[in-house]
Every structure is written in structure tokens, then in C-alpha cells.
Amino acid sequence: MTRKLSLRGWLFCSLLLNAAFIIFFIVKRIYFAESGKNNPTKDYYDVWNESRNSVLKLLPIDSSDVVFIGNSITEGFPVQEMFPGVRVKNRGIGGNRSRHVKGRIDAIAKANPRKVFLDIGINDIIYNVPLDSLFQNYKEIITTFRTNTPHTRIVVQSVLPVGHTYEKFEPLVEKFNQMLKDYCNKENIVFVDIFSLLQKDGGLDSSFSYDDLHINGKAYMIWAKTIDPLVRN
């Protein structure tokens, strides 16, 4: 005959189960923290990068194209409409950091585009990627083009300013832009300072953004007018 557990037995089993669950979640948390998988935003943007890139790979680039490469700020740049009469392709992907761009740059370089416009870095800075690591990735991206398609003209665009919400990152943005400018001067690469055109009172002009990070039509128009001669010539 099956014996029923006493109240004390049920309490003991319950405590054991609770302890097991607590240990499980602690171990799981430690594992994911060490592997970087505890950050759903990071995982999301990795998957999003792969998904968007799988689409972009189906859209051919050729040697007469001007290609814009970057993150969501580039992705939101309506380059086809703002540069009519120019063969231009947008290869911006939202959430991209320099490692994402570095991972997908080979396919673009192999297409031997006429020019590439780079805008990379703000997501690295916001995600606390060390500037030296970001800078190294940036140089490797440029080296990929110089090695695989030396006829492609490279235009490096400054990281844009950020607004009040992200104000603690503004000094890092300025420092990184200076690193880029110095590198471009040394390597004879065209550098375009968009940062100064959109800055006001130590940050992104509030009239140019709805979220202190992404920019609106007025800002894109300033950007487009600034680089128009470089895009067309």
C-alpha cells in the first residue's frame, strides 16, 4: 500500500525543487553572461544582420555603383532619391557594429564598386566597444577594399553627433572622429566631417532628431548636399 507523504515530506520536496530551480537559473545566468548570450539586443542584431545581408546579397553591385555602407543611419538615408542620375546602392543595416560590417564587406569589395561611403562606429561606442578595437576593425574594412579592389575610391564619413540621451558618449564620438581624420590624412583617404554640420551646443542639434540618435529629413538633406560632389565626380 502506497504511503502518503507527510506535510513535512512535502515541504522538504518543495524546498529541494526550489533549490534546484535556483541553482539552474544561477548557472544559466552565469553561462549566458560569459558567452554574451544574455544580451537579447545583441543576439537580435546579429540575427537581423544575417537576415538583411541575405537579402542584400541577392541584389548585385557592379563596378559603376556608388555604395553606402553603415548602420541604421545609413539604412535610413534615401540615397537613390537624393542623388538622382547616379548608380547608387544602400548597404546600411540597422544595428550594425564594425564587426558586422567587417563580416559582410568581402562580398561588396568583390563587386569592385566605383566608390564606397563609410559611416561606422556609433553602435560600437554605445555598446562600449573600446575605441582601439573599433579603430582596428575600421582599418581592416578599409584594407579589404584596398587589397581586393584598389580602384574603388573610399570616402570615410565622420560619426554623427548624438543628443542629450546619449551625451556621455559624445566625447568618445569626437575622439574617434579625430582618430579617423588623422588616419585618413596619413593614408590619403577622403574624410568628410558631417559631425560639425549637425552639432549644436555640444551635441546633436535637437531639430535634426526625434530620439537623439537617428536623424530626420533636414539633417539628411544637409548630409546629401555636403557629399553630392563626391558622389557624382
Domain 40-232, classified CATH 3.40.50.1110, yes or no: yes
Q: How much is the pTM?
A: 0.82
Beta strands (DSSP E) in the chain are 66-70, 88-92, 115-119, 153-157, 190-192, 199-200, 203-204
Is the CB of residue 33 less than 8 Å from the CB of residue 80?
Answer: no
What are the extents of the domains in the chain? 40-232
Q: Each residue's pLDDT tens digit in the chain (233 positions)?
A: 445 556 566 555 555 544 544 444 343 344 333 434 445 455 799 999 999 999 999 999 999 999 999 999 999 999 999 999 999 999 999 999 999 999 999 999 999 999 999 999 999 999 999 999 999 999 999 999 999 999 999 999 999 999 999 999 999 999 999 999 999 999 999 999 999 999 999 999 999 999 999 999 999 999 999 999 999 99
